[in-house]
Amino acid sequence: MRGHRKIRIGKVISDKMQKSCVVEVSRRVLHAVYKKYLTRRVKYKVHDPKNECKIGDTVRIMETSPISRTKHWKVMKIIEKAG
């Protein structure tokens, strides 16, 4: 078995590369002192072998062994197409 791989859900913000896209994953965290919710965002370069992802799509991505210098994630499934 490969072990536990991280899975995230995010939105495609760029699809200009070939067989790749950039996915932004947002999460909300509570500030320890001020008790205010903050949005933390992380951008991942994701492997998209069929070039299916378009800007605005919601996708599920999975961590994988390094595909290139910056790509360590791949698209598992397109959850929702951009309207």
Give kind and range of the element (H or E) at residue 80: strand 73-80
Q: Express each pLDDT in 15-62 by its tens digit.
A: 999 999 999 999 999 999 999 999 999 999 999 999 999 999 999 999
Dist CA 61 CA 6 (whole Å) = 8
In a domain, 52, yes or no: yes
**Percentage helix, strand, coil for the chain under 3-state DSSP, each rounded to 5:** 0, 55, 45
DSSP state of 35: -
In a domain, 27, yes or no: yes
In a domain, 61, yes or no: yes
In a domain, 72, yes or no: yes
CATH code of the domain containing 46: 2.40.50.140
pTM of this structure = 0.90
Total count of domains within the chain: 1
Res. 63: pLDDT tops 90: yes
Domain carrying residue 69: 7-80
pLDDT value at residue 3:
78
In a domain, 1, yes or no: no
Helices and strands counted in the chain (H then E): 0, 5
Detail the DSSP E strand segments found in the chain. 7-14, 20-30, 37-47, 58-63, 73-80
